[in-house]
Chains A and B, each alone.
Chain A
Amino acid sequence: MSLVVFDRVTLDLAGRTILSQASFAIAPGEFVGLLGPNGAGKTTLMRAILGLVRPREGRILVSGAPAAPGRGGIGYMPQLRAQPDPRSTGWDLVSGAVDGHRWGLPRRTARAREEVAWALDMVDATAIARRPLGELSGGERQRLLLSQALIGRPKLLLLDEPLISLDPAHQRGTVDLASRLRDELGIAVLFSAHELNPLLTAIDRVLYVGAGRAVLGAVDDVITGPVLSKLYGAPIEVVRAGRRIFVVAADVQPPSTACDGPHQEPARARL
């Protein structure tokens, strides 16, 4: 059975149609890269899976049941908009998520401590968890947020633009970490990003959104001139160089305009 099913879904955000009659399905344990132009609705799509945005038409099923907030089984790492309070420790941040949706006093039971220790260990954040968040680097804070998303042992991880504001080495570290979590825990990962190349080694399939459409498939089937031209609503050319893929506007010379293309390419080629 599919883990996430979009069945002819139409999604609106502030009067704008983000998805129109989109259908696709994500399998359990699958690592899917979520790509698309700025403002294409990658975050809205994740919020719809969480049940925080209702589709105007169609159905979104998660583990066979309609998406709704608090259903559990989904870990979510939002894009960092508001920084968590810099004086709190990572331990407080992560432990706050243990049964955090239930009323009552914050519990520090043995089971809760075990859960926190497990989640911290999964992302190698045990050593930094006692420090105030304000003292940590962006990459370290991100590991703690990822650890927090693991609380509740989800079957699906939604990671919203985790590579933003990280340098190439840290981008690689984050992708490798998500990939390792997928392998060790057998969970599905939906990983949104601006650029495809840092994800190439890790993803099984790519979900590309744009111009109200969503296409889910293997990289070689989706990242092609004709498919992307439709999604961008402009002529697009796909240029391959070794193991890297450049997506560029088709009416200009690739080498001189690679930086202006929909995808910039700071990551080094692997292998």
Chain B
Amino acid sequence: MLAYDFMRTAFLASGIVAVLSGLVGYFLVLRNQTFAGHALSHVGFTGATGAILIGVPSLWGLVGFTLLAGLAMGALGEKLSARDVAIGMTLSLALGFGLLFLHFYTAFATQATALLFGNVLGVDRAALASLAVLGVASIVALACISRPLLFASLQPELAEARGVPLRLLSTAFLGIVAVAVSESAQIVGVLLVFTLMVGPGAAARNLSSRFGAGVALSAALAVAEAWGGLVLAWFTDWPVSFWITALSAAVYGLSLAAAPVAAARASARRLGAARTPGPGAASVPPDPHRRFQADAAALDAKLD
């Protein structure tokens, strides 16, 4: 399988993209901005079709349009979740324009399918180099902003008080998301960007509540899903994108099933810790909420 040049290129390309999407996706999930990532990919479709129409490589159209849209979203403000309708309208409009560009460029069916559902086996050397440069630049940029980004994601008000420029940070992050979306679209297509961007990040958050382990796991899962998809596609001759979505969904499903196990392990650790209370632990009054919570849980169990 690795004897073929296009397969080696595909493994390299999907590996680079998966690492970037896994890392960015973790923060996307942490910040509840997954919908913004989805919207950016639709805007990217317009950029890509427009680029092809005027004879420019589609990757540049993708990157240019998503980057512009990402920066604009960031400049609009922190509370993106409150703008669902605005984002939804924008992405519908973007897809509409994409359709219009397709209409003008008539001999386009394969290109359109590749854009919508990805074509990792069609990545050439030049595209691979672009993906590598953009990927490395994005990861470096993400590393630079990751500390204030984590702080601002968990507690924006305190972060702002400590002098974190929230607006600038949010804009920079969405710029990085835009590049990651463009890269993912090369592998799985604009419609399936969620599968590489959000799937691994969400699964990692179910499996580990610790930040460092979660980020690493998210990237590792993304790479495993992308490469697993390539291998399965090689043996079945089914589309790579299908296998990646299937693996991503399976991993997410398993992480949901494993989440109670992880919680139980954490609570076992907690019981171990509770047996050796600190010197000041007695000064806080016992928690009457606990009993109510236990009662409520018992009631829930009965109702079930």
Contact = CB atoms under 8 A, between A and B. Distances in A.
Interface stretch (A6-14, A169-177, A223-231, A243-251): A169-177
Range for the number of chain B residues in contact with chain A: 35 or more
A124 interface: yes
Range for the number of chain A residues in contact with chain B: 35 or more
B156 interface: yes
Given A105-B147, A107-B147, A88 B209 contact: yes
B164 A101 contact: yes
B289 A127 contact: no
Interface string B183-198: 0000000000000000
A192 interface: no
B163 A69 contact: yes
A135 B263 contact: yes
B274 interface: yes
Interface stretch (B52-60, B64-72, B276-284): B276-284
Contacts of A93: 154-155
B86 interface: no
A128 B210 CA distance: 14
Contacts of B212: 106, 108
Contacts of B157: 76, 78, 81
Contacts of B160: 52, 69
Interface in A119-152: 121, 124, 126-128, 130-132, 135, 137-140, 143, 145, 148-149, 152
B211 A106 contact: yes
B163 A101 contact: yes
B148 A101 contact: yes
A89 B209 contact: yes
A99 interface: yes
A43 B176 CA distance: 34
A110 interface: no
B281 A127 contact: yes
Nearest to B81: A82
Contact of A132 (B145, B266, B269): B266
Contacts of A180: 283
A140 B151 CA distance: 20
B interface majority secondary structure? helix
Contacts of A108: 212
A104 B289 contact: no
A183 B156 CA distance: 29
Given A104-B144, A124-B283, A127-B273, A97 B209 contact: no
Interface string A236-266: 0000000000000000000000000000000
B144 to A, nearest CB: 5
A105 B151 CA distance: 11
B233 interface: no
Nearest to A70: B163
B302 interface: no
A102 B154 contact: no
Contacts of B267: 131
B3 interface: no
B264 to A, nearest CB: 12
A248 B218 CA distance: 57
B172 to A, nearest CB: 10
A100 B159 contact: yes
B42 interface: no
B150 A96 contact: yes
A102 B284 contact: no
A84 interface: yes
Given A92-B211, A107-B147, A97 B155 contact: yes
Given A89-B210, A96-B155, A137-B290, A124 B150 contact: no
Interface of A: 47, 50, 52, 69-72, 74, 76-78, 81-82, 84-85, 87-89, 91-93, 96-97, 99-108, 121, 124, 126-128, 130-132, 135, 137-140, 143, 145, 148-149, 152, 167, 169-170, 172-173, 176-177, 180
Given A97-B162, A121-B278, A167-B288, 19 more contacts: A47-B161, A70-B162, A76-B158, A78-B155, A87-B205, A92-B154, A93-B154, A97-B151, A100-B151, A101-B162, A106-B146, A121-B280, A124-B284, A126-B273, A132-B209, A137-B287, A169-B285, A170-B287, A170-B289
11 contacts: A52-B161, A96-B150, A101-B163, A104-B143, A106-B150, A108-B212, A124-B281, A138-B289, A140-B287, A167-B289, A169-B288
